[in-house]
Homo-oligomer: A and B are copies of this chain.
């Protein structure tokens, strides 16, 4: 198999190619950097909302989403409106959404960290107290990428964490509302919805306005304006990771139906032209079979154009020498989604150091995890699984250290602290500790 493209346009690589490392780097390369023009525009919007509040939010929304709102009230959806959307869904959709929400909630219940403490021999108590954040902001993209599943995945962990108030923002370009998105907000326990988006929504959540309450943390994906605004307000509020395009790495041992794998690759590639779908196997015949499935099935897809573009630009079928080499590739790529379409996937786990979510075995299509298996579908992209985690309950909680020294403990610790503080020339620290020494 050479470093060439198939008829379906997907690159074929082999780890034995001379230039394999460079080709893989080029495929993986992604920089979501905003240029100076975007930065300047975002800075202006942030400053406008900070100083003029609602008025600036309304102006920006009218301009970018082609609306003509006069008041924030027109950009606010009531809990009744959300419930109405939920009740108005076809039975099949309402039941599927409710079942998904139940499973997502149950999984996330397992993530709740416990407060803990321990007592030392001299009576000193040390520990850590876990508390929820007060108010969370959820950014939900509008338009073509308005996904009700994302509303569940962002809001439910906050709800499980015990967040007091969940505020959602979602742009409605040209005034178009997505009923499934509103129904999901109802189901996930969202308290307020404002139909604003872009940097103006991030600013409103970060600084607060007359109408939009200031939140403590903002989560959820968005376009380059949203990402730039989130980076700018980081520190003022907490934010989740800045998301890049979605990607999957599938490792196949050659015994999964090639049509299944082709469709799994498509399900990633259909997101958008920048999405990335890569298949790795040490079985060259199997790779050829999947390639044939791709060529046969691709024309049957509703979103064939998007899939062809993303497979052509960023997809790959990679032939490697062995399982061991596949593991090396996994850890190098640190994929958002890893599908282990192999006989004994649990045997692989101990060697996988970096992956957002691991889909194990032939039956576990990524699509099941995207909607309803339970784990979160907001996952670290572009190799950031090297240092970050799926969105979870822990993102909506924080910890406080607890230190309660006994008189005895303060005396023995005070001696150590005094020496170290004087070593740092911080003598008020030293004297504060020394006051607590036993005479």
Q: Is A198 an interface residue (CB 8 A)?
A: no
- Interface 0/1 of A355-392, CB less than 8 Å to B: 11111110111111111111110011010111111101
* Contact (Cβ within 8 A) A369 B401: yes
Known contacts A113-B113, A349-B402, A432-B263; A417 and B360 CB within 8 A of each other = no
Contacts of A49 in B (CB 8 A): none
* Contact (Cβ within 8 A) B355 A375: no
Q: Give the residue of B238, B267, B394 whose beta carbon is less than 8 angstroms from that of A428.
A: B267
* Contact (Cβ within 8 A) A407 B363: yes
* Contact (Cβ within 8 A) A100 B385: no
Contacts of A113 in B (CB 8 A): 113
* Contact (Cβ within 8 A) A401 B357: yes
Q: Is A20 an interface residue (CB 8 A)?
A: no
* Contact (Cβ within 8 A) B416 A99: yes
Q: Shortest CB–CB separation between residue A151 and chain B, in angstroms?
A: 11
* Contact (Cβ within 8 A) B128 A367: no
Contacts of A259 in B (CB 8 A): 435
How many residues of chain A are within 8 Å of chain B by beta carbon? 120
- Interface 0/1 of A205-247, CB less than 8 Å to B: 0000000000011000000000000010011011001100000
Number of identical monomers bound together in the oligomeric complex: 2
Q: Is A71 an interface residue (CB 8 A)?
A: no
> What is the bound-complex CA distance between A407 and B267, given in angstroms?
20
* Interface residue stretch chosen among A2-10, A301-309, A319-327: A301-309
* Contact (Cβ within 8 A) B435 A257: yes
- Interface 0/1 of A157-180, CB less than 8 Å to B: 000000000000000000000001
Closest residue to A259 on the B side, CB-wise? Answer: B435
* Contact (Cβ within 8 A) A387 B266: no
Q: Is A400 an interface residue (CB 8 A)?
A: yes
**Chain A contact residues: helix, strand, loop or mixed:** mixed
* Contact (Cβ within 8 A) A387 B217: yes
Q: Shortest CB–CB separation between residue A301 and chain B, in angstroms?
A: 6
Contacts of A38 in B (CB 8 A): none
> What is the bound-complex CA distance between A241 and B217, given in angstroms?
13
Q: Shortest CB–CB separation between residue A401 and chain B, in angstroms?
A: 4
* Interface residue stretch chosen among A59-67, A72-80, A89-97, A185-193: A89-97
Q: Which residues of A approach B to under 8 Å, CB–CB?
A: 32, 92-93, 96-97, 99-100, 107, 110-111, 113, 116, 118, 124-126, 128-129, 131, 133-134, 147-149, 180, 216-217, 231, 234-235, 237-238, 241-242, 257, 259-260, 263-264, 266-267, 269-271, 301-303, 307, 345-346, 349, 352-361, 363-376, 379-380, 382, 384-390, 392, 394, 398-407, 409-410, 413-417, 419-421, 423-433, 435-436
Beyond A126-B374, A149-B424, 9 additional contacts (C-beta under 8 Å) are A32-B235, A96-B423, A125-B360, A358-B402, A361-B405, A371-B420, A374-B403, A375-B402, A380-B398
